[in-house]
A and B are shown apart, each in its own frame.
Chain A
Amino acid sequence: GIQVEQSPPDLILQEGANSTLRCNFSDSVNNLQWFHQNPWGQLINLFYIPSGTKQNGRLSATTVATERYSLLYISSSQTTDSGVYFCAVKAGTALIFGKGTTLSVSS
């Protein structure tokens, strides 16, 4: 089955710093989504981005489907950005998740 790998596994930042999270996937996909899981367990859909670039405030995402990777950029990080970031790709109707990147932002 399709494999999803995320890096780095852990990231520690000072407030105001920028970061890039990476997601590699093993097969061609037509549906890729980024999620943020907050410390209370809620999964928030950040982007639906099968290809191209999207921006939403301080967050942006780029997917290069032909090279099988996606990047999530977080600029001017805030403590509320802390949590786990997941990349997920579709296999049929199922979302296959990576293991996530745990981000800790300190003030």
Chain B
Amino acid sequence: DAGVTQSPTHLIKTRGQQVTLRCSPKSGHDTVSWYQQALGQGPQFIFQYYEEEERQRGNFPDRFSGHQFPNYSSELNVNALLLGDSALYLCASSLDGYNEKLFFGSGTQLSVL
């Protein structure tokens, strides 16, 4: 039973560029959430996707956008990258998304130079 998988594991970009991160949820899960974790901090909620729609959004600018596909996989897109976007980006999956255990992927480490 595959867990949550994310790609790529590491990424280096320059300021102003755009980036796309990918996530496949755990088998049987239909809900995907994205989190940003800065160094030394706890993860911060970006948004959640359910039934291919954004269900809830955290305090992140519109430069952060996402998509969920019919097979429940998801993408996180970040436009006009800033140095402050450098962080570990974590994808989590669950069933339903409200009162279920979350399972996290290993993350994508994004460095913006």
Contact = CB atoms under 8 A, between A and B. Distances in A.
A37 B12 CA distance: 23
A97 interface: yes
B98 A93 contact: yes
Contacts of A99: 41-42
A86 B104 CA distance: 13
Given A41-B88, A43-B90, A92-B56, A97 B103 contact: no
B102 interface: yes
Contacts, number: 61
Contacts of B90: 43
B99 A94 contact: no
Interface size grouping (class) on chain A: 20 to 34
Nearest 3 A/B pairs, CB to CB? A97-B42, A94-B45, A43-B104
Interface of A is mostly: strand
Interface string B54-65: 011010000000
Interface of A: 30-31, 33, 35, 40-45, 48, 50, 86, 88, 90, 92-100
B102 A95 contact: yes
A96 B42 CA distance: 9
Interface string B94-113: 00011111111011010000
Contacts of A50: 99
Given A93-B56, A98-B42, A100-B42, A41 B107 contact: yes
A12 B90 CA distance: 27
Given A41-B88, A93-B48, A94-B56, A31 B99 contact: yes
Contacts of A88: 42-43
Contact of B104 (A45, A90, A92): A45
Greatest chain B CB density within 10 A among A33, A41, A42, A99 is at A41
B60 to A, nearest CB: 11
A40 B45 contact: no
B5 interface: no
A95 B36 CA distance: 12
B33 interface: yes
